[in-house]
Amino acid sequence: MTEAEFSGAMRVLAGLLEARTGQQLAANRMWRIETAMKPLLRAQNIANLEDLVSRLLSGDERHLLDAAVDAMLNNESSFFRDLSTFGMIERELLPHLAASGKQTVRIWCAGCSTGQEALSIAMLIRKYPEHWSGCRVQILATDISSSVIARARSGLYSQMEVQRGLGINDLLRWFEPAGDDWQASRDLLDLIDYRVDNLLEPLVPPFHYDLILCRNVLLYFSVELRRKVFDNLVSLAAADGHLILGAGETVMGQTDDFVASRDFRGSYERRIIHPAQMRTGSAGGLR
């Protein structure tokens, strides 16, 4: 399908996706709309994309709109996605946070999809109970899609999903067979608070998070909306907080509020504003 062949209905749907979530569908992903919508059209007995769009534009079918937007989101995820990043988190960043002297360490997985990322962090915490004595850990995991949050809360993963990134030892230690699927242990799930939330207008508890993972989410945002999300993230990050993006993502050219960490490779830290900069205003504003 060429760009000229995308139907008006496809363009309207892509527009709804962007308006609701910030996600832009590049021309080479527009062709997916038709396939992505097939289950919804079938379930709702709707003949084609044009009929779907006219029902959506009639404006009073909130559930249908949510389901259509949900169907277009890319929810790709896996356990310990990017081994080098999770190796650094395990060996360096989590021990550093555990030794920080804070009573509660707060971690936020923003755009968590079906929960593999939050569970990967939870496994790395539960693996070293000796690091965390005297320190509470809370993992908040949010996503704009209510269907992925429902799946994440269930803690159920297919054989195919657990094969992606989970070693056999971790599988047997933290999951139990449940029919054809695998059930994550209560011990892991109890660490995680899953919530539906939009990164463009976050309503998450206004704590200062010590570690924020926002991975493979901002890739398809426009430059303006990406900046808006970075503003939201920095306002919710602890002064000594860390940010980790996906392997192909960077803050460079997007925000001045985070800088590459010298100590924790692959992570970003909040930029420290020196008092002299505050006086001259050269830091570009205070937070």
Ligand X SMILES: C[S@@+](CC[C@H](N)C(=O)[O-])C[C@H]1O[C@@H](n2cnc3c(N)ncnc32)[C@H](O)[C@@H]1O
Under the rule (CB under 6 A), what is the footprint of ligand X? 21-23, 73-77, 81, 111-113, 117, 143-145, 148, 198-200, 215-217, 246
Cβ atoms 86, 78 nearer than 8 A: no
Tokens in use for 95? Answer: 């021990």
- Report, in Å, the least distance between residue 249 CB and ligand X: 10
What span, in angstroms and rounded, lies between the C-alpha atoms of 120 and 107? 12
- Report, in Å, the least distance between residue 215 CB and ligand X: 4
Cβ atoms 219, 249 nearer than 8 A: yes
Cα Rg, the chain, nearest whole Å:
21
What span, in angstroms and rounded, lies between the C-alpha atoms of 202 and 84? 29
On the 0-12 / 13-18 / 19+ scale of CB atoms within 10 A, 2 is: exposed
**What DSSP line would sit under 196-222, residue for residue?**
E--TTS--S----EEEEEE-SSGGGB-
Cα dihedral value 62, 66, 71, 75, nearest 10: 180
- Report, in Å, the least distance between residue 103 CB and ligand X: 27
Closer to ligand X by CB, 202 or 271: give it.
202
Closer to ligand X by CB, 22 or 155: give it.
22
Closer to ligand X by CB, 85 or 258: give it.
85
- Report, in Å, the least distance between residue 47 CB and ligand X: 27
Closer to ligand X by CB, 53 or 199: give it.
199
Closer to ligand X by CB, 95 or 246: give it.
246
- Report, in Å, the least distance between residue 75 CB and ligand X: 4
- Report, in Å, the least distance between residue 208 CB and ligand X: 19
What span, in angstroms and rounded, lies between the C-alpha atoms of 242 and 239? 9
Closer to ligand X by CB, 5 or 201: give it.
201
User: Phi and psi dihedrals of 228, rounded to 5?
Assistant: -60, -40
Which residues face 194 on adjacent strands?
Answer: 141
- Report, in Å, the least distance between residue 113 CB and ligand X: 3
**Location of structure tokens 């002064």:** 239
Closer to ligand X by CB, 111 or 155: give it.
111
- Report, in Å, the least distance between residue 112 CB and ligand X: 6
Closer to ligand X by CB, 80 or 174: give it.
80
What span, in angstroms and rounded, lies between the C-alpha atoms of 192 and 196? 13
